[in-house]
Structure 1
Amino acid sequence: MNAEDQIYQNYVNILKEELVPATGCTEPISVAYAAAKAREVLGVEPESCVIAASGNIIKNVKSVVVPNTNGLKGIEAAAAAGIVAGDASKKLEVLSGIEEQAKASIQGYIDGHPITVVPVENEIVFYIAVTVQKGNDEATVVIEHYHTNIVRVARNENVLYESVSDSDQGSELTDRGCLNVRDILDFANSVRLDDISEMIERQVACNTAVSEEGLTHDWGANIGKVLLRAYGNDVRTRARAVAAAGSDARMGGCEKPVVIVSGSGNQGMTASLPVIEYAKELRVSRDKLYRALVLSNLVTIYQKTGIGRLSAYCGVVSAGCGAGAGIAYLQGGEYEDIAHTIVNALAITSGIICDGAKPSCAAKIASAVDAGILGYHMYRNDQQFFGGDGIVTKGVDNTIHNVGILAKKGMRETDREIIDIMLKHTSKDAVAEK
């Protein structure tokens, strides 16, 4: 692939759009971003706040710790943090600069101001509308489809900004329709390192630091530590453990930034950390590692394009396949090796549900990475799943297409049931506390 080709530039742009830093789980951070922007538009600290959110947002914010809030969870905490101390100009790092005094005031704001969460029933899977009010003045900020995609800003009766796009990819993102496995591999082999090195270096540095935090301290269910203690220290176990440990820390509210993929820190860590661990074991060059990470990231993004940002289908399954592809590449794998690795892995783990961000995400990451590694070793041992085996179809791109349909359309009712179950438990927990 030539650097002058449009598809080459599209692939570079896709990576630039996707591999961005975020402090905290991205759904609560998106709520905090909208709230910080709404306060900015209002011009003063509001007396009240209403958050209208789709079920998937409620699901993904409910059980995860919001960073820099002294351990608070939930939409109310995310909105309050954005209002009290958020910096909207930092987007997904909106809560990164909060000082200790401001942390303490977030709970005070929650206690002293009404914050109302309203579930929204519409066809938009990713939807957040934050309305803040003081006296007769109010401001509203609406985000749709992905985490920083503000589509409407209003103050009182005045619409200050409104997007004309209703695409679930957003009008500002590069069209992902150019993605396919063969071209992704061609790009990984031919990309000029100067075009991608800055973002890949940042991914390696940030995600490794969060993983080390998870392995060193007590976070979540400590899945990374459990894996190493229970299964030993071989590279396959380490690859699962480093990714799981990153999630342990992040779901527990770690304040260090992560470079995300497809809008998700867990996917960003799953797509990168196992590949980095294998690169250390194999002692490959920096060039080879970076190309493997380009491959893993783009394979993950490609799968998620058909699924959407949020669904009932666990996103780390896609990232585990990406990691498997990257690991295959590090070991000299070519197109057939990589294609079969992806198909085999999808046949193993497709169907793991997403029931929100929380400590068990780390265990799902471990399973997804294991499937990616197994998918590679199956093919190296002359074993594979064939077209007609369940959702597997002849051709890797066709199988990825099937998974997209399964996740986006077939699992809609599953998603509704998951959200219903989670909201019922929330109501029961609230009654029990009273």
Structure 2
Amino acid sequence: MDGKIYDAYVNILKEELVPAMGCTEPIAIAYAAAVARETLGSIPKSVRISASGNIIKNVKSVVVPNTGGLRGIAAAAAAGIVAGKAEKKLEVLAEITKEEIEEISDYLKEVSFQLTASQSKCIFDIYIEVQDEEHSAEVQIQGQHTNIVQIRKNGETLFGKEYSEEENCGGTDKGLLTVERIIQFADEVKISDVEETIIRQIEYNMAIAQEGLKGNWGANIGKILLQSYGNSVQNRAKAMAAAGSDARMNGCEMPVVINSGSGNQGMTASLPVIVYAEDMKVSRELLIRALVVSNLVSIHLKSGIGTLSAYCGAISAGCGAGAGITYLYGGGYTQVAHTIVNALAINSGVVCDGAKASCAAKIASAVEAGTLGMKMYQFGSQFYGGDGIVAKGIEETIENVAQLARDGMRETDKKIIEIMIDKI
């Protein structure tokens, strides 16, 4: 494999598979708020927050971790201001104490929070302005969860950079990803180059999934799947991924390793593959290689869609899981490509109406589509080019789905946000 492509794939995994605690959109608000407080140099007396519709959608209903069950934009910002550690970025709220939880609640009651919808055309936009008696500070994030584009104090720019929707925020070019190269990379990669990143994903995501099955989190989709449909490996794969989301969407304080900026996608891409690997008793090395496939396929599918859209990101990750499981069974490029196409034909078009408890059920559906796509090919069945949005060729089909999600569903996204949010 070409050395530059190889290095790029290693870097993509390291950049994308990072730890985060809590749903990443409220965490991004908490991170921006923590940076704003640090810039101000004191606890602010007033807070003004402007956020794009997709941010509002994904923060509105989800529990902010380490806040005693608080939900929403103001709660996320208050947590970041009172107790956030900005240097920890997506784990900004990881070290909050019990005493600080009470302080967050009191702060919400005492301080003025002004919340407005952003007028920016940027789909991912967070702007926070904080003030005390004498000073002010402003922080803006665009494009991705930790991509700060502006820091100002008392009207003076301390840091600034331009951002456009076409940028990749400085990360490795994901346009280099193709399914054929992903399989080649998984076959050839030195385990030592990816081991730390992948093993951390296994440990973190398995731990929160097990907590999801033990505790009482959200709608308990993971538990219900096991109680209703038994202990087959396919059902356990769905249940574990759903259980992780049950816990994470409802305030569990355990971190996950994300994929494409999303913890739900990180769990969907990894947990079903881990469950199948345990059932098949494969080697540790094969599991790592299969998770390389599932993660990179998920990133490849999602990169053409964008960070936030009306298209449920778990669908892309469910395809990734199906691809990774196919690889566990000895599937190569042809088998993996057919699995992905079949899965995309089954479930593309599931809408994202924000982060919340029902994400766990959508994850179960996405994993079902991924495993059904695999089984179809194993039994000599497949969907063909010309069947709806399916094209002749895996990359052409992926691009069709990206166009559907990125361009075709823009009006859908606007209507979802309009339905969900009358006033903020």
TM-score (norm 1): 0.97
2:383 aligned to which of 382, 385, 388: 385
1:418 corresponds, among 416, 419, 422, to 416
Q: Which whole-Å deviations, capped at 9, do the CAs of 1:246-281 have from their partners, x for residues lacking one?
A: 000000110000000000000000000000000000
Instruction: Tell me the residue number matched to 2:212.
Output: 214
TM alignment of 1:133-144, pairs within 5 A: 133-144=131-142
Alignment correspondent of 1:194: 192
Match of 1:94 in 2: 92
- In the TM superposition, what whole-angstrom CA distance separates every residue of 1:20-56 from its partner, at most 9, and x where no partner exists? 0000000000000000000000000000111110000
Task: Give, as a single letter, the amino acid of the residue that structure 1 aligns with 2:151.
Answer: V
Identity of aligned residues (%): 60
Structure 2, gaps ≥5 residues long? none
1:359 and 2:357 are equivalent in the alignment: yes
The answer to whether the 8 Å contact 1:321/1:345 transfers is yes
Alignment map for 1:108-119 (pairs within 5 Å) = 108-119=106-117
Residues paired across the two proteins, number: 424
Q: Which amino acid aligns with 1:20?
A: V
Q: 2:151 aligns with which of 140, 153, 169?
A: 153
Shift of 1:394: 0.6
Unpaired runs of 5+ in structure 1? 428-434
Give the match for residue 70 of structure 1: 68
Instruction: Quote the residue 1:176 is aligned against.
Output: 174
Which residue is 1:274 aligned to? 272
Paired AA for residue 205 in structure 1: E
Deviations 1:75-100 (A, max 9, x none): 00000000000000000000000000
Compute the RMSD of aligned alpha carbons: 0.9
Q: 1:225 aligns with which of 212, 223, 226?
A: 223
Partner of 2:259: 261
C-alpha displacement at 1:136, in angstroms? 3.4
Q: Distance in 1 between matches of 2:229 and 2:119?
A: 45
Structure 1 match to 2:403: 405
Distance 1:302 1:270 in 2: 15
Question: In the alignment, which residue of structure 1 is the partner of 2:14?
Answer: 16
Change beyond 3 A, Cα 1:404–1:170: same
Determine the C-alpha separation between the residues in 2 that align with 1:390 and 1:356: 27
Q: Partner amino acid for 1:138? A: S
Distance 2:152 2:275 in 1: 47
Give the drift of 1:107.
1.1
**What do the CA deviations read for 1:144-199 (whole angstroms, capped 9, x no partner)?**
00000001100012100111342544342111110110001101111111110001
Paired AA for residue 274 in structure 1: P
Cα separation, 2, equivalents of 1:144 and 1:33: 13
TM-score w.r.t. length of structure 2: 0.99
1:95-146 alpha-carbon deviations (Å, 9 max, x no partner): 0000000011111101000111110133210000111011231101100000
| Distance change in 2, residues 1:169/1:236 (3 Å) | farther
